[in-house]
Structure 1
């Protein structure tokens, strides 16, 4: 299948301070093979000026194909991603956080195995080395690696970073899944379910990571870690639909 358009899903909750910066980065990226960009922003009922910032950006940058949707109540990051997946019209899609932790310049790194005909899904790993990685929380890193190992045990994959935001999917494949998790449980659920698609080809490439501290707006916490374990067991061990 020829890849002509990439859908970029941006879930946003109280990102009014940075949403224009990440959109500038997405706009600046020139994708390989003249692939076009479809930007799908899903505002998960933000309580700050996120909506005004998005609307202002859209009016000032009509050349960027931005589709804007919003939830009337806060449902969670996973729910915002679900909405974006449903609305995507590109042959492939990728999830992009609205903060500045991940660099859109690396879309092309994720695209290469797909364009070359090797991959249906590409994970961007923060732990493969060779790319800038902000030094932050030791236990957070240990937690990520533990969750990845636990996930791998049940998916029979050898991923190094299951919890990464950067996952690029064949759109038809991910739209065929029944996804349930509304918050950060999206990552282990989608990993478990995508791994069970017959003959799926999953690749991993190294990416940079410009992490935020909690003072800078990072939202994931220890409760989400326990939810991730629950989701790994639910969708991995017990193979819940």
Structure 2
């Protein structure tokens, strides 16, 4: 049976993190071998909320605290390294701000379809996806950028990066992602890598909502950065060389985290 790791990145989401953990019902835990919450140096009580929850509800959960604030992309790198070092076959990413629902990936797990793909990526903007609290303007903007990335990569892209994704761990062994941006742009670079490395990718529809979450996205600046990434790849004469470039603002030699508790 495949060993599947669930990775939950968390930053200042003390109000939402327990709702995310409560999604892990008995049926879901049949497929998940272990859960890690990677606390990216939250300044609120996210960490304590996790500890309080697992003191009452039995979960195979490990809480990690990044040694520095690495950003969302950096937290992915911590989790990817953890998955490789601990012998997991697959890693699921579910953001800790309770915008997504892990049950949207259940059909793929139940059928075993995930075994046919290198990556299964949740998509907010494809047929049968369900959005709540998302403005028409933002939806339109995301669809435009999906088209731009589709042109850039030569592959159909349905989402530049939702909070529910699944990766086969052995495709990560080369750590091709190490120089990718540590901020919210990390998933954009992962999409480019999927195309360059010819990974077999499946997009699947998900539900997505915005209620009491605090957004870290500044729409205009992110839009400009996203456009720069897509155009940089598209116009690059040597795409492999482009993807091997250094995209980080701060160089980190090793992404490390402290284990706060142990899985029961």
The question of a shared fold, defined as TM-score above 0.5 by the shorter chain, is answered with yes
Against the structure 1 CA distance between its residues 43 and 120, is the aligned structure 2 distance closer, same or farther, given a 3 Å change threshold?
same
Compute the TM-score of the two structures, normalised by the length of structure 2. 0.79
| Corresponding residue pairs, total | 233
Distance (Å, rounded) in 1 between the aligned partners of 2:72 and 2:181:
9
Once residues 14 and 116 of structure 1 are traced to their aligned partners in structure 2, the CA distance between those partners, rounded to angstroms, is 31
Equivalent position of 1:208 in the other structure: 207
Q: Distance in 1 between matches of 2:173 and 2:111?
A: 21
Q: 2:59 aligned to 39, 49, 64, which one?
A: 64
Q: Which runs of 5+ in 2 are unaligned?
A: 245-264
Higher relative contact order (CA 8 A, sep 6+): 2
SS at match of 1:69: strand
Cα deviation, residue 132, structure 1 = 3.0
The reply to whether residue 164 of structure 1 matches residue 162 of structure 2 is yes
Question: Secondary structure of 1:78's partner?
Answer: helix
Contact 2:118–2:200 (CA<8 Å) still a contact in 1? yes
Following TM superposition, by how much is the alpha carbon of 1:235 offset from its aligned partner in structure 2, in angstroms?
4.7
Q: Which residue of 1 aligns with 2:41?
A: 45
Residue 190 of structure 1 and its aligned partner are, at CA, apart by 0.5
Q: Relative to structure 2, which stretch is displaced further, 50-59 or 8-17?
A: 50-59
Residue 36 of structure 1 aligns to a residue in which SS?
Answer: coil
Q: CA deviation at 1:85?
A: 1.1
Using the TM superposition, give the Cα deviation of residue 135 of structure 1 relative to its aligned residue in structure 2, in angstroms: 4.2
What secondary structure is seen at the aligned counterpart in 1 of 2:104?
A: helix
1:19-65 per-position Cα deviation (integer Å, ceiling 9, x unaligned): 1110111x216249x4233211111111001111122223333x311
Aligned-pair CA distance for 1:211: 2.6
Which 5+ residue runs of structure 1 have no aligned equivalent?
Answer: none
Contact 1:4 1:36 in 2 (8 A): no
Q: TM-score, normalised by structure 1?
A: 0.86
Compute the displacement of 1:164 (Å).
Answer: 2.0
Q: Tell me if the contact between 2:6 and 2:32 (Cα under 8 Å) persists in the aligned partners.
A: no
> Considering only aligned residues, what root-mean-square deviation do their CA atoms show, in Å?
2.3
Give the structure with higher Rg (CA): 2
Partner of 2:144: 146
